[in-house]
Amino acid sequence: METVYLCIVIILGILAIYDLIVGVSNDAVNFLNSSVGSKAAKFRTMLIIASIGVFIGAALSNGMMDIARHGIYQPQYFYFEEVMCILLAVMLTDVVLLDVFNTMGLPTSTTVSMVFELLGGTFALALLKTFNDDSIGMGNLINTDKALTVIMAIFVSVAIAFFFGMLVQWIARAIFTYNFKKHLKYSIAIFGGIAATSIVYFMLIKGLKDSSFMTSELNGWIHDNTGVLVSGMFVFFTILMQILHWCRVNVLKIVVMLGTFALALAFAGNDLVNFIGVPLAGYSAYQDYMANGLDLGPGGFLMDSLLDSAKTPWYFLFGAGAVMVYALWTSKKAHNVIQTEVSLARQDEGEEGFGSTPIARKLVRFSLNLSNGLNKIIPERTKAWIETRFRKEELTLEDGAAFDLVRASVNLVLSGLLIALGTSLKLPLSTTYVTFMVAMGTSLADRAWGRDSAVFRITGVLSVIGGWFITAGAAFTICFIVTILLHFGGVAAIVIMIAIAIYALIHSQVLYKKRKSKEKDEETIKQIMRSNDNMEVLTLLRKHTREELIKVMTFAQENFERTVTAFLHENLRGLRRTMGSVKFEKQLIKQMKRTGTLAIGRLDNNTVLEKGLYYFQGNDFAGELVYSIGRLCEPCLEHIDNNFKPLSAVQKGEFTDVTEDISYLLQTCRQLLESNNYANLEDEINRANELNVQLAHLKREELQRIQSQSGSIKVSMVYLTMIQEAQNVVNYATNLMKVSRKFQTEENA
């Protein structure tokens, strides 16, 4: 039996390595989003700075893994086999859950996931123990205070970080304006002094407070002399920043780099428990059992030893730091999560990664009403002065940056201060929550959320926040179930659960690759938004349009064939699948039109007048093509769902023949789009005219059958609808090709 538990410890170690990788992929956004978004330095440079911070933070971590040892469960009431069951369930759940969020590109809290996984696993076994033993109460087994504190910290940190992010950024922008380089003469020294002092204070309070070299005496001295230290650092850094500015050094870039280092150091030092705390608790429990519990057996040896705080050996800390640095450099999912936050906070408009929801629309409407009300109260002179400080046309951005260095500095400094404040007040604020909400608050105050993008940005923010709560619920529920299965299933359940976890991770990787392939398809539109050359924009827009219309034509062909085939064979599942595809495609069409409107605005007036109409007509015909497939499928689905009579043999034969011809037309049109060669388009237009004549003939014949009352009226009505929508598919496809030719070629043939 000891061999089984040794294998579990080894599995926990392997999972710890993977958890470090997925954890860094998720939490890298906390310290890299501001530097990446502002282009304060080359990405490689920022990775080097962050890597140094991560490694030092991990290596100097105090290694206190108390939350995994006795923060949630009371180990003195649990036997060795029960503790190992909980810890294995936690790690299996954690690696899969975090990997799923990374694949989706959503930042979440590794602290919350671990706490609620421990809570779910403990609750599962606590139910079993209290059911079998009336002398033990749930309060003796579970430490619910920690979980409730984390939940309260979510609400508090979200609201506080967002509010102060707005306030501080508004003040900073009012001082520096968008053209901040004109207002750096003396104000930069004070700003840089405050920023650097705040960052160093943050490192002392949050990043290094519990490090291995920080003795209780040194901590006490820092606490007693905090005021003197802060004042001295402020004077020193203010003078230093002024001198650097005189030497033509960009002080804001220095602040961003220093802030990135500080947050990376604090992340590694304080969040390390989230990744290796559980495996180390399992390792410690196994050592104690092998030394003292063999006589009692795994089901009779209580884990009192986990009540003690344990120091983590230095080689574990160094190894964890090395893995974290490796993950930071190699994880593409880390870059994916970073991109989500940078996209939501970017200054300009462009491709929006999220749609629109009713809650977001109501919030925007409420904000507009509130803004209009405030405008009536604020004096005109005050409003005029504010407008002079917020002239977006004066915005100074680094090449390819999403926002400027002023906002990046505020993000890092304020995040550090709020986290340090929460730590000093013993509030378990999540670095993810604070950094994300500060970034959203500063972007709102910086007027990055315009009327045309606010609803999408708010939807994105709500999606991320919702993901945080989903993390807690999913972590608790999944770990609860896994713990029960491991407890009753034994070795067989362990093998099965590990196999399921491996499958889930592989499947997640497949989904991630599909997601990245879609993002590669969207790279063209990003190039369009960055370009200022009219011909380059037109060339890229033509390429992007072809890519989008090819997708639409492929969709039309596949779903037209599927709808007809499923209806003729009374395949309800196939029809439902088509309706689901149509619903999803409609959303893509809306996004395509929204993106196209932004892209067409990058062209000069002459090009817009010459080609703009054809572009918008092409999008309209593409939308109508999708809607025609939906109108074709809907009555067919209702007919089959109600188990009405099928089409007659004559009707099936007629429509099968014309379906093959329509499908061939759609396929040929798609091939013309792919080759961007419209030389044979007239042949396809003639083919479409012949199909319309054929469909009109079918319609007349069906009307004659209705008049002679030779068939079911319900069947006839569906059949007539099919013929009408088939005509629409033919017409919209050929019209789309005509305007595409006019848009893609120089001659408006």
Average pLDDT over residues 603-620: 86
pLDDT higher than threshold 80 for residue 164: yes
- How many CB atoms sit inside 10 A of residue 330's CB? 11
Cross-strand bridge partners of residue 142: 73
Give φ, ψ of 467 to 5 degrees: -65, -30
Average pLDDT over residues 251-278: 81
Cross-strand bridge partners of residue 79: 302
Q: Identify the pLDDT of residue 749.
A: 44
pLDDT higher than threshold 70 for residue 484: yes
Q: For 214, which DSSP code?
A: -
Average pLDDT over residues 537-558: 89
Q: Identify the pLDDT of residue 631.
A: 93
- Write the burial class of residue 654 (CB in 10 Å: 0-12 exposed, 13-18 middle, 19+ buried): buried
Of residues 99 and 557, the one with the higher pLDDT is 557
Tell me how far apart the alpha carbons of residues 394 and 179 are, in angstroms, rounded to a whole number. 5
pLDDT higher than threshold 60 for residue 63: no
Tell me how far apart the alpha carbons of residues 180 and 183 are, in angstroms, rounded to a whole number. 5
At 32, list the tokens: 């890299």
Cα four-point dihedral sign 518, 522, 524, 527:
negative
Average pLDDT over residues 142-170: 79
- How many CB atoms sit inside 10 A of residue 260's CB? 27
Of residues 296 and 728, the one with the higher pLDDT is 728
Cross-strand bridge partners of residue 73: 142
Average pLDDT over residues 118-134: 85
Answer whether 537's CB lies under 8 Å from 528's CB.
yes
Q: Identify the pLDDT of residue 521.
A: 53
Enumerate helices (H) and strands (E) in the chain, giving the number of each: 27, 0
Model pLDDT for residues 34-60, shown as the tens digit of each residue: 888 888 888 888 888 888 888 887 777
Q: pLDDT exceeding 90 applies to what percent of the chain?
A: 15
Residue 727: closest CA among 681, 695, 685, 690 = 695
Residue 551: closest CA among 618, 632, 601 = 618
- Write the burial class of residue 746 (CB in 10 Å: 0-12 exposed, 13-18 middle, 19+ buried): exposed
Q: Identify the pLDDT of residue 516.
A: 58
Model pLDDT for residues 113-122, shown as the tens digit of each residue: 888 888 899 8
Q: Identify the pLDDT of residue 282.
A: 87
- How many CB atoms sit inside 10 A of residue 440's CB? 27
Length of the chain: 749
The beta-strand segments (E) located in 247-315 are none
Q: Is the pTM above the cut of 0.75?
A: no
Q: Identify the pLDDT of residue 442.
A: 86
Give φ, ψ of 79 to 5 degrees: -80, 165
Q: pLDDT exceeding 70 applies to what percent of the chain?
A: 87
Q: Identify the pLDDT of residue 214.
A: 65
Which residue type does 535 have?
A: M
Q: How far apart are the first and last CA of the chain?
A: 81
Of residues 73 and 164, the one with the higher pLDDT is 164
In order of 27, 160, 275, 427, the CA distances from 153 in angstroms are 18, 10, 20, 7
Q: Identify the pLDDT of residue 431.
A: 76
Q: Identify the pLDDT of residue 553.
A: 93
- The confidence band for 477, taking pLDDT boundaries of 50, 70 and 90, is very high
Cα dihedral 487/493/499/502 (nearest 10):
0
Model pLDDT for residues 384-443, shown as the tens digit of each residue: 888 888 777 777 777 667 777 888 888 888 887 787 776 666 565 677 778 888 888 888
Q: For 399, which DSSP code?
A: T
Could you state, in order of their start, the residue ranges of all structural domains in the chain? Answer: 2-520, 524-744
Cross-strand bridge partners of residue 722: none
Q: Identify the pLDDT of residue 688.
A: 92
Please provide the average confidence, as pLDDT, over all residues in the chain.
Answer: 82
Average pLDDT over residues 1-19: 85
Q: Identify the pLDDT of residue 300.
A: 85
Of residues 447 and 234, the one with the higher pLDDT is 234
pLDDT higher than threshold 80 for residue 450: no
- The confidence band for 146, taking pLDDT boundaries of 50, 70 and 90, is low
Q: Which CATH number fits domain 524-744: 2.60.120.380, 3.40.50.300, 1.20.58.220, 1.20.1250.20?
A: 1.20.58.220
Q: Where are the alpha helices (DSSP H) in 601-612?
A: 605-607
